[in-house]
Amino acid sequence: MKDENLCGCTLLRMEDMENAFLCGFDYVEFMGKYLVSLSEQEFAVLKKQTERYPLKVYALNAYCPPEIRMTGDGFDLRQAKAYAAACAKRAGKLGVQFVGIGSPRSRSLLEGYDRALAIRQMKDFLKTTAEEFGHYGITVCVEPLAVCYSNFINYVWEAVRLVEEMDCENIKAVIDFYNMEHMGEGDLDLRKWMPYIVHAHISDDDGTPDMRSFFRPEKKTVHRQRIRRLYENGYTGAVSVEVDIPVDRKRAADTLQVMRLQRNFKNSEAPDSAQMDIRMQSSRKSIYNKCADRCEAELLMGGTGFVYKRPESYYKRSHYRSDTCAQHVSVSAEESR
């Protein structure tokens, strides 16, 4: 299957793999800092569970926690190298192909900080990180973030310029339509930058940037147009919906319909509203039939065997909110980038 036919979903927790699979996604993304936070035993359980589903762990988002500095005060290249080595090793074992470098709290700068110095630090960080991930054939992707998250590398052109200047085979860019929209770039013509863009994210939110979510009904047309235009402009990679909430099967399936349909129209004229409604209904029926078939197959096999339960100590780790219960873990957007 070509990458341009792939639709994925980011996950906050391993348990969401089942819903992502049942909805029909082709792959998932885990948070980089989530992988590194796991003990060896916990990671072994995660790897075993990922092998139960025909889903690629195609990419990582939310690369690192705030204490791993990319730029600014506290920048420590040796610490960054050690972290990259640990993350890359586990990503390699999962078959990851791309890792997005967003992590706003790791790169936001204090007022007055030397921007030229910040750029040099970022280049050193990316070079060191790319070297570690390069051992496993993984591409490191710079992500421009909206000013609501960070004050450093906010526009697509800034990320692309950094990639151009570094001229490294496994340093590219990932775009995020949610961030682009906040920066007034939601409908930007990306054709001239396509050689540098290898991955893409898209999402809506549930009222705040701290709660990115699946597509809202009133914005489906906007997302259809953006995804179609992305492929018409020469993009050949995959698209992930990046969310800060657990996978809601109904909302996720509705979002996936929009993502899949636009792949089919990328080389032709968009259908009128009546034709789109008919095709959407057909796609919805197809997706839910697929879910039903998978559920039935699992029942025939005696269930999924999905019995993994994290130790209580796991939920005390810093990347999870302390007030969430083990059955409904949620992570804020600021933490999940």
Tens-place pLDDT, residues 253-302: 999 999 997 655 443 333 344 444 443 454 445 444 544 444 433 333 33
Range list of H helices, 156-215? 156-166, 177-182
Confidence band of 5 (pLDDT split at 50, 70, 90): confident
Instruction: For residue 274, report the phi and psi dihedrals to the nearest 5 degrees.
Output: -65, -45
C-alpha to C-alpha distance for 163 and 173, rounded to whole angstroms: 7
Contact 235, 202 (CB under 8 A): no
User: Residue 157 contacts by C-beta under 8 Å, 6 or more apart in sequence?
Assistant: 193
pTM over 0.85: no
Q: Which residue has the higher pLDDT, 183 or 262?
A: 183
Q: Which residue has the higher pLDDT, 261 or 72?
A: 72
- Do the bridges between strand 204-205 and strand 197-202 make them parallel or antiparallel, or are there none, so unpaired? unpaired
Side-chain-side CA neighbours of 214 within 13 Å: the count stands at 21
Q: Tell which residue, 243, 257, 242, 246, has the closest CA to residue 288.
A: 257
Q: Residue 102 CB: number of other CB atoms within 10 A?
A: 27
Tokens 């980011």 found at? 10
CB neighbour burial string for 10-37, b if at least 16 within 10 angstroms, e if fewer: bbbbbbbbbbbbbbbbbbbbbbbbbbbb
Out of 175-184, 283-292, 319-328, which region has the weakest mean confidence (pLDDT)? Answer: 319-328
